Homo-oligomer: A and B are copies of this chain.
């Protein structure tokens, strides 16, 4: 009997889950559509039915020990989802762990997706054995998980690790959070696009991207253009990296990490983003941190969201 935990990642559109062993292998996985349900009760009934369906296929081989859930605004301390506007059934305080346990009786642990991924990095990924690191997801938004003294920092109210909402420009871009200049407005896929169009206005740099309307531009098109030497696209990465490097430099002064792991769409641009980010981080960092902190790609493979949520549960079982 192989011991496993169930990792569940709740997204606004889909929910994915898998049975994950202690080496991070996904033995079975499946998904349901999050937004098909108006009420959390119906959503959880459907999710548990789908989990049981997968379980029936593998149950002779596995023993389930616990469930880890990554969810928007997931609160580790309370086991709740706290007012998640992206979830059609979840824009209030949802007693997620409690309701889950009523339907499927294993220990249930909840946090947000970036924290779960950070724990995934520690348990299964490139941060194995590291006691102090930053994990940053550069996706549609910017999320983060901070590990110090070998533990994820949840903070007083479980809202720690919001590096995406550190203000890097006091009167900068409008953020969805209602403030201005958050890192997320620059160093996300959305931020990258905003930069392309700002630079179209500010500079005369020639670019094939000038033929593409704002609403049709993807991060992938920007990285492809940059790979082909497109000057505006390259300048866009440089600009993005300056903001990200600055934020990272300031971040080092809090927890003095050994490494910074970058994950997600923007990180997939490889050295286009890593090289200038390292350059600016070292430029802005206090001397004691300069050239002393690694900025490296995440080592998470496969479905990182499932593996991260599973790692949350594994990590709790180990502590």
Contacts and interface: CB of A to CB of B under 8 A. Distances in A.
Interface of A: 131-132, 146, 148-149, 151, 153-163, 165-167, 170, 177-179, 246, 249-251, 253-258, 284, 286-289, 292-293
Given A256-B158, A287-B178, A246 B131 contact: no
Contacts of A253: 160-163, 165-166
Contacts of A132: 155-156, 160
Given A149-B149, A155-B257, A162-B286, 19 more contacts: A131-B156, A132-B160, A148-B149, A148-B160, A153-B255, A153-B256, A155-B255, A156-B258, A157-B256, A160-B256, A163-B253, A165-B286, A166-B253, A167-B249, A167-B250, A167-B284, A178-B287, A179-B284, A251-B254
A160 to B, nearest CB: 4
Contacts of A160: 132, 148, 253-256
Given A153-B149, A166-B250, A170-B246, A179 B256 contact: no
Instruction: Count this chain's copies in the assembly.
Output: 2
Contacts of A179: 284, 286
B284 A154 contact: no
Nearest to A254: B254
Nearest to A288: B159
A27 B161 CA distance: 42
A149 B246 CA distance: 27
A254 to B, nearest CB: 5
A248 to B, nearest CB: 12
Contacts of A165: 253, 286
Nearest to A82: B288
A186 to B, nearest CB: 13
Contacts of A159: 256, 288-289
Given A146-B255, A148-B148, A254-B146, A246 B155 contact: no
Contacts of A151: 149
Contacts of A288: 157, 159, 162
A117 B319 CA distance: 29
Contacts of A155: 132, 148, 255-257
A126 to B, nearest CB: 15
A156 B286 contact: no
23 contacts: A131-B156, A132-B160, A146-B255, A148-B149, A148-B155, A149-B151, A153-B256, A156-B256, A156-B293, A157-B288, A157-B292, A159-B256, A160-B254, A161-B254, A162-B253, A162-B288, A163-B253, A166-B250, A166-B253, A167-B250, A170-B246, A179-B286, A250-B250
A177 B286 contact: yes
A253 B166 CA distance: 6
A118 B288 CA distance: 21
A148 B257 CA distance: 15
